[in-house]
């Protein structure tokens, strides 16, 4: 996934450089080219392709916060139990 993003960023950067160095080009045109062909599409693509990973991390964090699979916290050794008395 990242290899395609790096390649696309390289192409967009080269397009912006060509726009900036062209006799009819401007730096503003190069900036617009970089934004509209590079940064914005890449940001959207990486956000969409990263959705399954974000969901997986969120579910893992929620299940770790719940404790066991049943959703109930496991009681500790003295939690919920009355102390035992020893008789002589």
For the stretch 2-13, pLDDT in tens is: 898 999 999 999
Tell me phi and psi for residue 50, to 5 degrees.
-90, -5
- Which pTM was predicted? 0.62
For the stretch 25-71, pLDDT in tens is: 999 999 999 999 999 999 999 999 999 999 999 999 998 888 655 55
């Amino acid at each position: 996934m990242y290899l395609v993003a790096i390649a696309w960023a390289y192409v967009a950067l080269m397009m912006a450089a060509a726009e900036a160095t062209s006799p009819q080009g401007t730096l503003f045109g190069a900036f617009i080219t970089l934004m509209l062909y590079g940064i914005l599409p890449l940001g959207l693509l990486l956000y969409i392709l990263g959705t399954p990973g974000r969901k997986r991390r969120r579910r893992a964090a929620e299940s770790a916060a719940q404790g066991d699979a049943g959703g109930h916290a496991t009681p500790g050794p003295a939690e919920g139990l009355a102390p035992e008395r020893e008789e002589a």
